[in-house]
Amino acid sequence: MLVQRLFAAALLAACVGLALMAWPYQAPFSYEPVGPRAYPLLMLGLLAIALLYMLWRPTPLVHSEDEPPLDRHTLAKVGACTLLLLVFAGLFEPLGFILSSALIGIPMARLYGGKWLPSAVIVGAMSVLLYILFDRIMDVPLPLGVLSVLEN
């Protein structure tokens, strides 16, 4: 219980620090009427409310039998997942959204028990469809990277 509360307190301190960093942010132009700082402040506020609950709740969290134990295997999966997300962040601009999503999504699916062929097909389709959804339908520009030669 003490470890959970210490973790909540540390994350709450990080939320406060990030909110202080986000508060003065002003963009020279904005697509939405509330400005660019509303979304991070809203997310940090919701996270802070949940962390305050974790700090002062009367009983400890009880783990059920369905939850995986926090052993070496589970921690290795979490570490591999974090590493894959860092690689995704590094490849996002040079390779573009579609290729970086596919290259990271397939090992991520395999990490959590997916078979090779279904993982490749689903992740490939999701990468293309999410690109179309964000870039074409929602007008959120995503980089094409090396696939930019296919554009128009």
pLDDT, tens digit, 9 for 90 and up, residues 47-75: 999 999 988 876 766 666 776 677 888 88
Q: Which residue positions in the chain have pLDDT lower than 70?
A: 1, 27-36, 58, 60-64, 67-68, 152
The span from the CA of 23 to the CA of 41, in Å, is 7
Torsion of CA 10, 38, 135, 152, to 10 degrees: -120
* Torsional sign, CA 7, 13, 17, 18: positive
pTM of the predicted model over 0.85: no
Task: Judge whether 55 and 9 are in contact, CB under 8 Å.
Answer: yes
**Which DSSP letter does residue 68 get?**
P
Task: Judge whether 15 and 44 are in contact, CB under 8 Å.
Answer: yes
